[in-house]
Structure 1
Amino acid sequence: MVHVKNIIQQLMPEIYIHSVAVDENPSLDERRSMMGNANDEVDLVCEKLSKVPQLQRGFGAIGFSQGGLFLRALIERCPNISVLTLVTFGSPHMGVSELPLCADENDWLCKKKNEILKRQVWNVAIQKSIIPAQYFRNLAEYDKYLENLRFLADINNERDETFDTLAKERFGKLEKLVLVKFSKDTTLVPKESAWFQEVDPKEGYIVDMRQTRLYKEDLIGFRRLHKEDRVDFYTIEEDHMRFSDSFLVDIVSKYFMNGL
């Protein structure tokens, strides 16, 4: 992310840029992106950002992969910050139904590990310690998802008993939401999750976002944003997180050159 920061800094030298980190130690921060409790990490980042004076008047945010999902959770849950524009790259807004594919088709150890983890994904201990498991969403087991997940199911307001009206209001106040999808994504499965779409568990077709429960019932304010023309969609013809510097420059120029 240092490269991304440098590009933005060169484009907008006067702007304040804050990189979100859960841990000051880069290696530990990377580890905590996979191991930990997503709810606790969102609370921690909320506390940190609330103390940054340069962000008090509102700011724009860019999230990459699961970072975009966590930024959305932050917008919904953190009352002391004001995000004006949110850009997410390949983020699992509707969760993942498969674990990331193994880089090597012949890596049986990787495949076995994924197989075991997938079988245990609803386990309480797994849900409290493995980050990707906390946004695992398989529509074929939707009841288990609602019963066991305490992160994605809550920030998507899918659980009636924990429905958060304030979260919906906060997210619905965004001035602009920008969703970037990677058409050849093999890490985010399904890749359509980046656009708030899902895959029918029986037939395998892509469910248009307007046909999802999240949209039809406007669970988080996304429908309002869309109807008011505050959502933009982009597709990059590449695999997960592979984008050019020029694309990033175009996005930053279009959505952040107003002084945010």
Structure 2
Amino acid sequence: MRTALVALGALCAVLHAEATSPALGLRERVLSRLMVADFSKLPTVVQPRAQTERVPLLQARRSNFTPVVLMHGLGDAGSNPGMEQLARTVSDAYPGKVSLAVNVSNGFLSYITPMQAQVDEFAATVRADPRLAGGFDAVGLSQGGIIVRAYVEQYNDPPVRNLIGVSGVMNGVFNCPLMMQIIPFVCEIYETDPYALDFILGFSEYFVLSQNKSLYLSGNPFLPALNGQTTVNETYKRNFESLNSVTLGMALNDTVVYPKESEQFGGYAWGTKDTVFTMRQADFYESNSFGLRTLDEAGKVSMVQYEGDHLRFSDAWWNANILPRLAG
């Protein structure tokens, strides 16, 4: 299992290489402060743990199940034990069902690869697997949630039938996660211009600077486009509206995604850094700019939650709330 210490140590190496190029004040400043930061206090990057509870058999074996694709989160990998075990729970519950935890921007690459490139890699991966040609259900964990959401809007070929987010950053992040607050200067940069860091940190592209809407709209190349907050893309909207269902799982005690309501398309109100809005209060919901309201009004959006921190759901919760949604 990778730790945030290993990941940020590698980040120092990247920044050192950047600093040898023509001088850029921000890069040099980040480098100099990273070199003296105390990474020993950083906790392990949160990953789903391996299941220990027996998985229920939900349907008899058959050959025509819809496949399932799981996309990992930040710092994780499809080949890690927790992700592989989650994939196995699906095939255990539905014998004969194809269930894959894909290896896309694994480990440290999930930090430094631009979000659009990660979406493109996900698309190339699922398109290369003939078992998925007829469509699949997608489960995105943490950062994987916004990756599979973006795939639906931008590609959806092969099509996603049911979209599930588990602590998925569906509407981005609005504040530094607890693990990053241990190196405060990174948070200082995020509070002023997070998009200046997109040359090294992919997750800058789903950071929402709620105190400065104009900078968010002009500086963030990724999330505003998905939300239709700059220009409404009719293809994105049509693809999202084609989903059979959307399930949004939120961790009630999340210390990684701020606010936790982002996992259900909420966030912080413009001009504030702590006033929470929920999905139906969002500007993109009211304008129906990418089809979220269409699905919700059709009864196709479900919200579930669990006690615990980021991705620290129980086996029983997964078996009761996620596995039944992957039938068919």
- Equivalent pairs counted in the alignment come to 245
Give a deviation string over 1:173-204, Cα, whole Å, max 9, x none. Answer: 11010000111111000111011112224384
Give a deviation string over 1:221-259, Cα, whole Å, max 9, x none. Answer: 00000000001101112111110112112234421122x
Q: Does 1:2 align with 2:89?
A: no
Mapped to 1, the partners of 2:295 and 2:110 lie a distance apart of 29
Q: Does 1:187 align with 2:264?
A: no
Name which of 120, 142, 151 aligns with 1:65. Answer: 142
Gaps of 5+ in 1: 24-28
Q: What is the SS of the residue equivalent to 1:33?
A: helix
In the alignment, is the contact (CA less than 8 A) between 2:210 and 2:272 conserved in 1? no
C-alpha displacement at 1:91, in angstroms?
A: 1.5
Q: When the two structures are superposed, what TM-score results if normalisation uses the length of structure 2?
A: 0.70
Name 2:296's counterpart in structure 1: 226
Gaps of 5+ in 2: 1-82
Name 1:80's counterpart in structure 2: 157
Name 2:247's counterpart in structure 1: 178
Mapping 1:137-156, distance limit 5 Å:
137-156=208-227
- Counterpart amino acid of 1:92? V
- Counterpart amino acid of 1:187? V
Name which of 230, 246, 253 aligns with 1:159. Answer: 230
In the alignment, is the contact (CA less than 8 A) between 2:210 and 2:273 conserved in 1? no
Q: Does 1:114 align with 2:187?
A: yes
Name 1:43's counterpart in structure 2: 120
- Counterpart amino acid of 2:100? H
Name which of 130, 134, 148 aligns with 2:201. Answer: 130
- Counterpart amino acid of 1:182? A
Name 1:238's counterpart in structure 2: 308
Q: When the two structures are superposed, what TM-score results if normalisation uses the length of structure 1?
A: 0.88
Q: What is the SS of the residue equivalent to 2:204?
A: helix
User: What's the RMSD between the two structures over aligned residues?
Assistant: 1.8
Name 1:26's counterpart in structure 2: none
Q: Does 1:13 align with 2:95?
A: yes
- Counterpart amino acid of 2:259? P
Q: What is the SS of the residue equivalent to 1:84?
A: strand
- Counterpart amino acid of 1:22? V
Name 2:39's counterpart in structure 1: none
Mapped to 1, the partners of 2:102 and 2:229 lie a distance apart of 27
Q: What is the SS of the residue equivalent to 2:137?
A: strand
C-alpha displacement at 1:117, in angstroms?
A: 4.8
Mapped to 2, the partners of 1:255 and 1:225 lie a distance apart of 16
Mapped to 2, the partners of 1:235 and 1:252 lie a distance apart of 11
C-alpha displacement at 1:120, in angstroms?
A: 4.2
Mapped to 1, the partners of 2:256 and 2:273 lie a distance apart of 22
Give a deviation string over 1:27-80, Cα, whole Å, max 9, x none. Answer: xx1111111111112112212211211111111111100101100000111142
Mapped to 2, the partners of 1:180 and 1:102 lie a distance apart of 21
Q: Does 1:90 align with 2:161?
A: no
Mapped to 2, the partners of 1:119 and 1:13 lie a distance apart of 51
Q: What is the SS of the residue equivalent to 1:181?
A: strand
Higher relative contact order at CA 8 Å, sep ≥6: structure 1 or structure 2? 1
In the alignment, is the contact (CA less than 8 A) between 1:102 and 1:111 conserved in 2? no
Mapped to 1, the partners of 2:236 and 2:132 lie a distance apart of 20
- Counterpart amino acid of 2:126? L
